[in-house]
């Protein structure tokens, strides 16, 4: 559905090239001073206008290539309810972000065609109708609402001593952050796209968060991360590379966090929680791609939209936001 959480509840709405996107956040206590500058910073990171330095987490001007729409869409938040003079009222917080740079005309040809690698065909099959303008709800544009709500959650978590920091650790086969810009720029010049890996570290989380079996901490985190458009995989601790380790190597004290990821038996163990998300290359790029007409015959298409060469660049802030929403909900129960 479009809602996440039980005690700290977030619902999002809106389509990529509609009038606006937005959300409703319920469960925020009264009297919280919202750090609007922090939310603005997170939105700028999601847009690719700012990026964190991998060594000291300082915010710098981003030089990584990203979507032209993302860098021009300023994402001004309009608070509709629940906040007065920057202070929460304890009632549901509703907000919208108007789509100022929408170009639905770029997608007119999709009224009668389905792009392979997109949700066009599945949305049509499930609902009998779809918003063909840039993918509608399936567009990464929707994640701006998540970042607003997640930023509020991050502020509440910080008061509890819990901090969340994510960073881009791999682009394609490249693992050296100093080469990311050059690597992505080359992909962009070729009119193509590439995937990436985002790593997230949660510190200050007390021991005991999560439940055995079906409510494991990693299950909640994986559910939230896999809901992000373009996310194709989730791992924590040693993850998939752990199959190369022997059992005697898995439980050494000096490598405990790297192996366990800060979770044992589905419950936080008091050490940093570490997980990674894999993001696919976006199927939208400037190269000619295959499509299927609604009548069933094959067609060729070329996207006129504005797309990212690497969506993982902008996913960093979204990963932090989703982790914050999950943790604030679990700590509110």
Domains of the chain: 3-332 (3.60.150.10)
Tokens matching residue 241: 């590379």
Give the Cα separation of 183 and 214 in Å (integer).
40
- With a CB cutoff of 8 Å and minimum separation 6, the contacts of 126 are none
Q: What is the DSSP string of 45-98?
A: HHHTSEEE-TTT--EEE--S---HHHHH----EEEEESEETTEE-SSPEEEEEE
**pLDDT tens, residue by residue, 147-181:** 999 999 999 999 999 999 999 999 999 999 999 99
Give the Cα separation of 66 and 311 in Å (integer).
8
> What is the pairing mode between strands 9-14 and 20-26?
antiparallel
Other Cβ atoms less than 10 A from the Cβ of 322: the count is: 31
Residues of the chain above pLDDT 90, percent: 62
**327, containing H or E segment:** helix 312-332
Tokens matching residue 314: 């902008």
Q: Looking at residue 253, what is its pLDDT? A: 54
Q: Does position 136 have pLDDT exceeding 90, yes or no? A: no
- Place 333 in a pLDDT band, splitting at 50, 70 and 90: confident
User: What are residue 200's phi and psi, to 5 degrees?
Assistant: -125, 135
Q: Looking at residue 102, what is its pLDDT? A: 74
**Residue, of 202 and 259, whose pLDDT is higher:** 202
Q: Does position 118 have pLDDT exceeding 90, yes or no? A: no
Q: Looking at residue 296, what is its pLDDT? A: 59
109-113, 259-263, 295-299: which is most confident: 259-263
| Residue of 170, 229, 236 lying closest to 202 (CA atoms) | 236
**Residue, of 326 and 71, whose pLDDT is higher:** 326
| Residue of 144, 145, 149 lying closest to 329 (CA atoms) | 149
46-50, 59-63, 83-87: which is most confident: 83-87
Q: Does position 59 have pLDDT exceeding 50, yes or no? A: no
> SS3 for 290?
strand
Q: Does position 264 have pLDDT exceeding 60, yes or no? A: yes
- Place 55 in a pLDDT band, splitting at 50, 70 and 90: very low
> SS3 for 314?
helix
| Least confidently predicted of 34-48, 102-116, 235-249 | 102-116
**pLDDT tens, residue by residue, 200-221:** 999 999 999 999 999 999 999 9
What is the average pLDDT across 240-257?
Answer: 72
Q: Does position 57 have pLDDT exceeding 80, yes or no? A: no
Give the Cα separation of 61 and 49 in Å (integer).
6
Tokens matching residue 243: 């199959």
Q: Does position 228 have pLDDT exceeding 90, yes or no? A: yes
- Place 135 in a pLDDT band, splitting at 50, 70 and 90: confident
Q: What's the pTM value of the predicted model, to 2 decimals? A: 0.89
Give me the chain's average pLDDT, please.
87
Q: What is the DSSP string of 148-159?
A: HHHHHHHHHHHH
């Amino acid at each position: 559905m479009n809602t996440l959480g039980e005690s700290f509840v977030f619902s999002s709405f809106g389509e990529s090239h509609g009038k606006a996107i937005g959300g409703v956040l319920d469960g925020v206590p009264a009297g919280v001073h919202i750090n609007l500058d922090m939310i603005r910073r997170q939105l700028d990171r999601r847009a690719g206008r700012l990026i964190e330095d991998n060594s000291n987490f300082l915010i710098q001007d981003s030089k990584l290539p990203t979507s032209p729409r993302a860098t021009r869409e300023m994402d001004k938040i309009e608070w509709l309810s629940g906040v007065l003079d920057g202070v929460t009222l304890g009632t549901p917080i509703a907000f919208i972000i108007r789509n100022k740079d929408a170009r639905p005309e770029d997608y007119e040809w999709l009224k009668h065609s389905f792009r392979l690698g997109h949700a066009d065909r599945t949305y049509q099959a499930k609902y009998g109708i779809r918003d063909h303008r840039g993918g509608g709800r399936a567009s990464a544009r929707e994640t701006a609402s998540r970042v607003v709500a997640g930023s509020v959650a991050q502020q509440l978590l910080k008061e509890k001593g819990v901090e969340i920091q994510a960073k881009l650790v791999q682009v394609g086969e490249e693992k050296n952050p100093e080469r990311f810009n050059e690597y992505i720029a080359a992909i962009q010049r070729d009119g193509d796209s590439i995937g990436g890996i985002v790593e997230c570290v949660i510190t200050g989380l007390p021991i005991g968060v999560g439940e055995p079996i079906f409510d494991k901490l990693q299950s909640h985190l994986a559910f939230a991360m896999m809901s992000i458009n373009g996310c194709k995989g989730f791992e924590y601790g040693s993850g998939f590379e752990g199959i190369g380790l022997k059992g005697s190597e898995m439980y050494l004290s000096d490598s405990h966090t790297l192996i366990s990821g800060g979770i044992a038996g589905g419950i936080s163990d008091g050490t940093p929680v570490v997980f990674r998300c894999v993001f696919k290359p976006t199927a939208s790029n400037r190269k000619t791609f295959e499509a299927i007409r609604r009548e069933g015959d094959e067609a060729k298409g070329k996207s006129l939209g504005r797309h990212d060469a690497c969506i993982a660049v902008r996913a960093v802030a979204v990963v932090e936001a989703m982790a914050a929403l999950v943790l604030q909900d679990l700590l509110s129960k």
